[in-house]
Amino acid sequence: MIRFCPKHKSSEKMLAELKKRLIKFKEKLEQSKKQKKRSGKRGIKKEGLQAVLVGFTQSGKSSIMKLLTNTNPAIDAYNFVTKELLLGALNYEGITMQVIDMPAINSEYCDFGIVNTADTLLIVVSSLREIDEIEKFISKTFGKRIIVFNKADKLTENEKRKIESYLKSRRYNFVIISALTGENINELKEKIVQSYDIIRVYSKEPGKNPSERPFVLPKSSIVMDVAKKIRIPETQIKEILIWGPSSKFPGQKVGLKHELKDKDIVEIRTK
């Protein structure tokens, strides 16, 4: 249109408007190219259980990622250090889980596609007001949430009690940690596992210690599910003994339809 527009005084206004529209169009095109380039940097395939660290810059997400997984993220004292997704593996009591360190929730690099579909969100904060601010960004998520209140090393015991009391009153699932000292990191790992709809069941051979690696089963699983995992035919089972949360007493005899709980130990004796 610019090329074929008449070049005289009465058309100057039209030419100026067309040139203005062309500049805006070029700017939009450039932004679109940048977004495609960013989204194409890295794709993460969801495999099994997945937790995502979300929070504002300087909240300590990357330091927590380092403590939880086998990764070595960039950690620095200036804002928006994390600009790409970082994938790591959390191995805890025989269970392997995906953990993703997400760029700051309010940055252009945050991938809300992953945030919205994660099984568990680890909401990292260092002040109570940050919780409501982050909630505005994660309204479309369906994953279970754990408030990870970081920088406990900077808090007095009285401040910790007040924070704990507030979080309990709001019925949050939470843990107060220090990424600097490692305080309560194992408690955080346990809470991550408990956030999934799974149980850990350990098998035991007669006269031996329980296995170190558990069977990971859906909640409401029964003894029969363990027998299938071990590949013991029902006709070969003589008796079943259990220890743990679902037993009334250690070594209780149960049937194949007995419902199991997390960290139960099952001994299946054959004929």
**Domain CATH for 256:** 3.10.20.30
Q: Are residues 114 and 234 in the same domain?
A: no
Q: Are residues 137 and 241 in the same domain?
A: no
Nearest C-alpha neighbor of 229 from the set 207, 194, 254, 202: 202
Print the domain residue range for 205: 198-270
Predicted structure pTM score: 0.74
Instruction: Reduce the DSSP state of residue 176 to 3 states and report it.
Output: strand
d(CA 243, CA 250): 5
> How would you class 165 by CB atoms within 10 Å of its CB: exposed for 0-12, middle for 13-18, buried for 19 or more?
exposed
Gap between the terminal Cα atoms of the chain: 89
Q: Are residues 184 and 210 in the same domain?
A: no
Asked, for residue 257, whether it belongs to a domain, the answer is yes
Q: Are residues 190 and 244 in the same domain?
A: no
> 91 phi and psi, to 5 degrees?
-105, 115
Q: Last residue of some domain: 141, 165, 194? A: 194
Asked, for residue 45, whether it belongs to a domain, the answer is no
Q: Are residues 190 and 202 in the same domain?
A: no
Q: Last residue of some domain: 136, 159, 194? A: 194
Q: Are residues 76 and 185 in the same domain?
A: yes
**Domain CATH for 102:** 3.40.50.300
22, two tokens: 């062309």
If one counts the domains in the chain, the total is: 2
- pLDDT at position 39 is 43
- pLDDT at position 41 is 44
d(CA 70, CA 29): 39
Q: Are residues 140 and 65 in the same domain?
A: yes
> 184 phi and psi, to 5 degrees?
65, 20
Asked, for residue 233, whether it belongs to a domain, the answer is yes
Q: Last residue of some domain: 170, 194, 218? A: 194
Q: Are residues 70 and 168 in the same domain?
A: yes
Q: Are residues 75 and 133 in the same domain?
A: yes
- pLDDT at position 193 is 92
Q: Are residues 127 and 142 in the same domain?
A: yes
Q: Are residues 176 and 209 in the same domain?
A: no
Asked, for residue 42, whether it belongs to a domain, the answer is no
Return the residue matching tokens 């699932």: 173
- pLDDT at position 74 is 60
d(CA 124, CA 130): 9
Asked, for residue 44, whether it belongs to a domain, the answer is no
Asked, for residue 14, whether it belongs to a domain, the answer is no
Asked, for residue 7, whether it belongs to a domain, the answer is no
Q: Are residues 179 and 214 in the same domain?
A: no
What is the full per-residue pLDDT of the chain (271 aa) written as tens digits? 777 677 776 677 777 777 788 787 777 777 766 555 444 445 577 777 899 999 998 899 989 999 999 787 665 544 555 678 889 999 998 888 999 999 999 888 889 989 998 999 999 999 999 999 999 999 888 899 999 999 999 999 999 999 999 999 999 999 999 999 999 999 999 999 999 989 999 999 999 999 988 999 999 999 999 999 999 999 999 999 999 999 999 999 999 999 999 999 999 999 8
